[in-house]
């Protein structure tokens, strides 16, 4: 391991190739690399080890130089470089991984490198970078696996759109007070499915949300409301393609989607929502619409009402209700706008399966269809919780919904109500 003093200073000059002084930068992008399993390789291939490390250092130095970076330090199998912007560090990291993978290593050894990138602030003192961000960058590299490139949260924001980044969650980095959200670079030639990181995740209890709306003003407003309400807004998008990229990368608990987005402003959001439900079942979908479009709501509910919501944008102004709807969807429940429910109810068939329900049971079922809990229904109808439970049980019996653990009877009842 590289040895640093308590200020975060990194000693330079340990590699013969570095002689030029570094520019004094307030904000720097740091890149750390090291070889996975270097001790094992040394033990099993001691005679070849010196040549292996020399080749590895040369490959890293070449890619760093081509990307416009500067080598700061190297000790053993670790190399530390600095760049004036994250995009250049990413370029060097990608080239390094590809060069290492393509190199004909001696004795058929498979040498694998892990890389961490972090953009932060550091002071330049006597040719050395000093600061906690130096430590943070090193810790990020150490958390990864061979063939992996990890990126910090601040750096991820500056690389948005340049490359696909997979959200791995928040982690405690050894010796640092604040946890860090880490992202994995997804690119051709890099392994995507890797073991969990070498550090324990930090459980925040906050739902992770991706927002998609072509109105930047509205999107930022909703993001602020959600952050204040205890959610983590991990990504924003202005069109359906960006939305799908964010969902693939971040794996959010909920995707909040405007139903009309570029380029045609018709049903791009709806189609993206349906694709999310099909390909990413772990992500709930809450669709926002300017108007009541009952047909779209039914399309969204075609397979199931689990983890799905459909609200008018006006409902966002009721922050408490909106936050509750997002949580219900994220927890696998449903949240349907009362206006949508009312319009769907007006389409009932003559052979109505709900004909046996009493007026009060219909009221209860309508609130069930909106995604409300028994307690919320009791408060809305000014009746006791026990009375609501009795009505719900009666509804299940009259709709012939058995107590099957494989099915969610509230969801099935809501679908029966909306489709009737």
Sign of CA pseudo-dihedral 292, 295, 299, 304: positive
- Burial class, 406, CB count within 10 angstroms (exposed 0-12 / middle 13-18 / buried 19+): exposed
Q: Yes or no: say if 308 and 262 are a contact pair by the CB < 8 Å rule.
A: no
Residues 134 and 43 placed together within one structural domain of the fold: yes
Confidence of residue 328 (pLDDT cuts 50, 70, 90): confident
Dist. CA 246–CA 164, nearest whole Å: 8
Residues 158 and 265 placed together within one structural domain of the fold: no
3, part of any domain: no
Dist. CA 201–CA 187, nearest whole Å: 24
> What contacts 107, CB < 8 A, 6 or more positions away?
45, 48
* Helical H segments across 331-408, by residue range: 338-345, 359-369, 374-381, 385-398
Residues 40 and 162 placed together within one structural domain of the fold: yes
Residues 222 and 333 placed together within one structural domain of the fold: yes
82, part of any domain: yes
| Range from 125-129, 239-243, 279-283, 331-335 that averages highest in pLDDT | 239-243
Domain stops at, among 310, 345, 380 = 345
Q: Yes or no: say if 20 and 71 are a contact pair by the CB < 8 Å rule.
A: no
pTM metric for this prediction: 0.52
Residues 44 and 123 placed together within one structural domain of the fold: yes
84, part of any domain: yes
Residues 314 and 407 placed together within one structural domain of the fold: no
Is pLDDT above 50 for 127? yes
Residues 144 and 33 placed together within one structural domain of the fold: yes
The rounded Cα 270 to chain-centroid distance in angstroms is: 21
166, part of any domain: yes
Is pLDDT above 90 for 59? yes
Q: Does residue 382 or residue 205 have the better pLDDT?
A: 382
Is pLDDT above 60 for 14? no
Dist. CA 29–CA 120, nearest whole Å: 6
Q: Can you tell me the mean pLDDT for 305-320?
A: 82
Residues 245 and 118 placed together within one structural domain of the fold: no
For the chain, what is the domain count? Answer: 3
Q: Can you tell me the mean pLDDT for 195-210?
A: 78
Residues 101 and 216 placed together within one structural domain of the fold: no
Residues 170 and 237 placed together within one structural domain of the fold: no
Q: Can you tell me the mean pLDDT for 168-196?
A: 85
The rounded Cα 247 to chain-centroid distance in angstroms is: 7
Nearest to 303 by CA among 329, 282, 322, 281: 281
Q: Does residue 308 or residue 408 have the better pLDDT?
A: 308
pLDDT in tens, 208-251: 899 999 888 888 889 888 988 888 888 899 999 999 988 888 88
Is pLDDT above 50 for 5? no
Q: Does residue 140 or residue 395 have the better pLDDT?
A: 140
17, part of any domain: no
What mean pLDDT is reported for the chain?
Answer: 81
DSSP result, 395-408: HHHHTT----TTS-
Is pLDDT above 80 for 402? no
Q: Which residues of 288-327 are buried (b: 16+ CB within 10 A; e: fewer)?
A: bbeebbbebbbebbeebbbbbbbbbbebbeeeeebbbbbb
Residues in the chain: 420
Looking up residue 298, the CATH number of its domain turns out to be: 3.40.50.2300
Looking up residue 408, the CATH number of its domain turns out to be: 1.10.10.10
137, part of any domain: yes
Residues 84 and 160 placed together within one structural domain of the fold: yes
Residues 249 and 315 placed together within one structural domain of the fold: yes
pLDDT in tens, 329-367: 888 877 877 776 666 554 444 456 677 788 888 888 778
265, part of any domain: yes
Dist. CA 383–CA 79, nearest whole Å: 68
Q: Which residues of 195-223 are buried (b: 16+ CB within 10 A; e: fewer)?
A: eebebeeeeeebbbbbbbbbeeeebeebb
Tokens representing 205? 């209890």
22, part of any domain: no
pLDDT of residue 8: 41
Looking up residue 78, the CATH number of its domain turns out to be: 3.30.70.1230
Confidence of residue 417 (pLDDT cuts 50, 70, 90): low
pLDDT of residue 2: 39
Domain stops at, among 345, 379, 398 = 345
Q: Does residue 415 or residue 164 have the better pLDDT?
A: 164
Tokens representing 232? 């983590």
DSSP 127: T
pLDDT of residue 296: 67
Domain stops at, among 152, 186, 220 = 186
The domain in which residue 251 lies consists of 208-345
> What contacts 151, CB < 8 A, 6 or more positions away?
86, 90, 116, 117, 118, 140, 159, 165, 182, 183, 184, 185
Confidence of residue 368 (pLDDT cuts 50, 70, 90): confident
């Amino acid at each position: 391991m590289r040895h640093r003093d308590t200020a975060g200073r990194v000693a330079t000059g340990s590699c013969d190739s570095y002689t030029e002084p570094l520019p004094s930068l307030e904000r720097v992008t740091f890149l750390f690399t090291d070889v996975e399993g270097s001790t094992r390789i040394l033990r099993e291939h001691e005679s070849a080890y010196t040549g292996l490390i020399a080749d590895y250092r040369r490959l890293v130095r070449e890619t760093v130089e081509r990307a416009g970076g500067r080598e700061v330090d190297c000790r053993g199998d670790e190399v530390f470089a600095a760049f004036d912007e994250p995009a250049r560090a990413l370029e060097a990291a990608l080239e390094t991984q590809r060069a290492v993978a393509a190199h004909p290593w001696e004795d058929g050894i498979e040498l694998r490198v892990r890389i961490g990138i972090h953009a932060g602030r550091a002071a330049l003192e006597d040719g050395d970078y000093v600061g906690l961000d130096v430590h943070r960058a090193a810790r990020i590299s150490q958390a990864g696996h061979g063939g992996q490139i990890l990126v910090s949260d601040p750096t991820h924001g500056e690389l948005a759109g340049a490359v696909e980044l997979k959200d791995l969650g928040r982690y405690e980095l050894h010796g640092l007070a604040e946890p860090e959200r880490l992202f994995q670079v997804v690119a051709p030639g890099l392994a995507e499915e890797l073991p969990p990181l070498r550090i324990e995740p930090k459980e925040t209890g906050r739902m992770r949300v991706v927002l998609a709306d072509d109105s930047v003003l509205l999107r930022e407003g909703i993001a602020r409301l959600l952050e204040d309400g205890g959610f983590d807004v991990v990504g924003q998008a202005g069109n359906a393609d960006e939305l799908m990229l964010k969902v693939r990368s971040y794996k959010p608990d909920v995707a909040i989607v405007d139903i009309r987005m570029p380029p045609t402003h018709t049903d791009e959001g709806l189609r993206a929502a349906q694709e999310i439900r099909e390909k990413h079942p772990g992500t709930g979908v809450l669709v926002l619409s300017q108007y009541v479009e009952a047909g779209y709501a039914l399309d969204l509910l075609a397979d199931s009402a689990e983890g799905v919501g459909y609200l008018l944008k006006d409902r966002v102004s009721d922050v408490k209700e909106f936050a509750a709807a997002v949580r219900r969807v994220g927890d696998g429940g449903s949240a349907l706008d009362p206006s949508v429910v009312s319009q769907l109810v007006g389409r009932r068939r003559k052979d109505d399966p709900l004909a046996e329900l009493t007026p009060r049971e219909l009221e209860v079922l309508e609130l069930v269809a909106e995604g409300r809990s028994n307690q919320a229904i009791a408060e809305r109808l000014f009746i006791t919780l026990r009375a609501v439970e009795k009505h719900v049980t009666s509804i299940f019996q009259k709709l012939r919904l058995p107590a099957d653990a494989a099915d969610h009877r509230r969801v099935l009842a809501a679908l029966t109500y909306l489709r009737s």
